Structure 1
Amino acid sequence: MQIHRSRRASGFAALPNALLQDRRLSYTARGILVDLLSRPDGWSEDGRRLADTSPQGRGAVARALRELTRFGYYRVDRVRRDDGTIVSVAHVYDSPQSPQAAPGNTRPVSGGPGVDPPVGKRPKNREKVPTLPEPVPEPCDGVVATLLRVVRREPRLRLGVAEARALAPLVEPWLERGYGERELVPALLDGLPERVHSAAGLLRDRLVRKLPPARPARPAVPRLRECDACGGPTRQAGVCRGCAGIGEGDRAEEYAHRAEVAIRGLARVRAVLRGGPAVSGGWQTAPA
């Protein structure tokens, strides 16, 4: 690998290699740290603005800030001003700091050294990792909502609405082929690595690589209608074939057979009711 560097007389920042090559940090965390260290002292920046001005969503930025806080590169303290207002002051370091190291220009929020907190109130946890405020829900279409419902079951695959919108074109082929959340859940969530560095990148790969083939079209089932004359089933609107005179001979023979069976049964019933012998067939009946 060859490294090409240009001479800079202005507009550059000098950073230690130990910071740039700290493999404990993700590339997103290192990029945010370099961006913050390149700003002048007193620069106003927060996690929400970082997320809104970069391709990463708020979830990725929040995870990166937690990494920087964990390894001593980033710290947020709440201080009380002389007028009584409380503000958050962020501190960025180009070398790791111990958790006990506190900035020299901070003031406690309430009380002082040796002052007990009021009864019924718990002291604030100074070492609590700063978190971003919950994003305001944005309106999203059905495809984006489907993807968000699927990945919400797995904390390692947290996505923002902007990231879900970017992945929506890859979800549409699944829905067009008749596959929904039932098929997306095992395809996207099964077999995840222990640590997911890029949720959007992993989902993009699986949506493309695991796209199932289109389902075969089901044969059309003919719809049966009711005959206008006899009320029997027919495939076409109007009257059936028998009522229309098509196949009339077969239909007449069937009706004759049914009539003969009915007459025989009626003769047997009459014979039994009159106390005579049962008639086996024909028109014979018992004498009155």
Structure 2
Amino acid sequence: MDTQQNTALTRALAEVPGPLPTSGVIHIVIPHADRFTIVGNHLAQHPDLSCTAVGIAVRIQSLPQGIEVGIKALAARCREGEKRIAAALRELEAFGYLRRVRDRLPSGRFITRTVFCNHPTALVHPRRPAAPQRPAAPAPHPASAPALAQVPTSAPAPAPAPAPGPASAPPPEPDMSAPPPVPPPPVLSAPPAPLFVPLVPPPTAPKPPPAPLPRPNEPTPELDRAATALLSDLRRHAPQFTLSETDIRQLAPGVAAWLERAAHPDAIRRILTTDLPQPLRHPAKLLKHRLTALLPPPLPGAHELTAPARPRIAVTPFQTCDGCDRVFRSPAPGHCRDCREHRAHRSEATRTAA
């Protein structure tokens, strides 16, 4: 008696048209009159988006214009944490549903706008307008059907000679069996440029080829012997790196390039064997990646480590004026500016008096 029976659900199942499936989901579709959002199956059934990203996309699509949809704003509205919301937003941005655009206001201040597109594929590949349908030819009248059937289709019937007399003959009736003229196809302009192009390539995009394994500039037998010994000795420090002879021969040039750049063998061993993924499936591929991506630069020379010479600044020395003992700056001893002006004024006055 404690099990509650949902009579409304039972009635709804009885009204579902057709036979009910024996397994799987059964849809009870009730039309919405208000507060609903249209979501395309390209988003709801996206094969590469996580369910969290699909849910965040539906939540953003249901919000009105101008609502803040940042990570913290969505974390305040949803039960997911900021890390899951940030990962979901990155997924939506990778597939073109979300985009952040930097815009400049008339005041000169820059702002970041968040743009959400509910169907990004339609922007990249816009649909072309459908060609107008040709109107169907009207059916001939039943009374004139036998007469029309007797007229051959290869050559038109000859026009009758005009009857003599002042009265003109009536114009001939149009041939209803001929198809109407077909209008020329509409001139389609070039498709517009896509307005919403994802900045991050999709996971199915072709990946660039991997970088080649580094090699020494001047390979020597000593470098090759030291690199081979270091790779063979790795299994003593990390049993996961029990390499075959083929792997050691392929990876030896990379270790030789490190040794040529004065990298210490202990430092190379520590970089190659620490912080390993669990489980380690392909040790040779991991060593190749670390030897290529973490290659140190060559050591700088002695002249490169020397501090650049500072430019010398010429300083004008101090001098003592011979007339008033005032200190002034000048490359040579003599008089200060006031004494020079006073002497020039006095000599001018003497010249005028003479």
- TM-score, structure 1 length as denominator? 0.35
Highest Rg: 1 or 2?
A: 2
- TM-score, structure 2 length as denominator? 0.29
